[in-house]
Amino acid sequence: EAGVAQSPRYKIIEKRQSVAFWCNPISGHATLYWYQQILGQGPKLLIQFQNNGVVDDSQLPKDRFSAERLKGVDSTLKIQPAKLEDSAVYLCASSLREDASYNEQFFGPGTRLTVL
Amino acid sequence: AQSVTQLDSQVPVFEEAPVELRCNYSSSVSVYLFWYVQYPNQGLQLLLKYLSGSTLVESINGFEAEFNKSQTSFHLRKPSVHISDTAEYFCAVMKTGANNLFFGTGTRLTVIP
């Protein structure tokens, strides 16, 4: 079974530029998560989708971050414009479905963003 | 709200020595507890979890963790570490019935030959 795919693996941009990350979850997984992992910290949830609807985006800085999952499969996370403090690893995860007592989350390899 | 504290940011240990990585959590509701491992240049992998039942849970590669409700702890232990155990270990908590993981800041385990 293929795992969660993310691209690109690395991205370097200058502040005020825009950037987009792509995630392809495990086939059949209804729930998709984006996490931000700043160096020296644990991952922090940015947004959670159930199919193509947003379940939780309370931690997403909506003035500059946006995410979509139009067809309930792939997802894109965008930052526009980027700031220095956005330098982090962006992790995508997926799980089978949201309406169960527990669903294991499977993580992709992440995209390492450096903002100069 | 839930929170996780991992007091040790780095733990160096000699090969074949025992190790304990500490994790304490704070929550006003019942929770599930997890340990994730992140090998260099790889994504997070679930190492073991406590959902209910026996408070001692084990992984396939010799790690174990014990849920201690009175001390709100979920420490990770291994009696004899290998070089291949070198990685970053994250403790995480999830409110029962929810799907949001709250992670600690991680502990970097370095096994010294």
Q: How confident is the model at residue B64 (pLDDT cuts 50, 70, 90)?
A: very high
**According to the model, what pLDDT value does residue A99 have?**
65
Q: Residue B36 pLDDT more than 80?
A: yes
> Nearest Cα to A93, choosing from A104, A78, A85, A81?
A104
Q: Chain A interface, mutation test: which of B9, B31, B35, B44, most A Cβ atoms within 10 Å? A: B44
Q: How far apart are CA B87 and CA B77, in angstroms?
A: 14
Q: What percent of chain B has pLDDT over 70?
A: 100
- Asked if B11 has any chain A CB less than 8 Å from its own CB, the reply is no
Q: How far apart are CA A65 and CA A80, in angstroms?
A: 6
Buried residues in A84-100 as b, exposed as e (16+ CB within 10 A): eebbbbbbbbbbeebee
Q: Which residues of chain A have pLDDT under 70?
A: 1, 98-101
**According to the model, what pLDDT value does residue A100 have?**
64
Mean pLDDT across chain B = 92
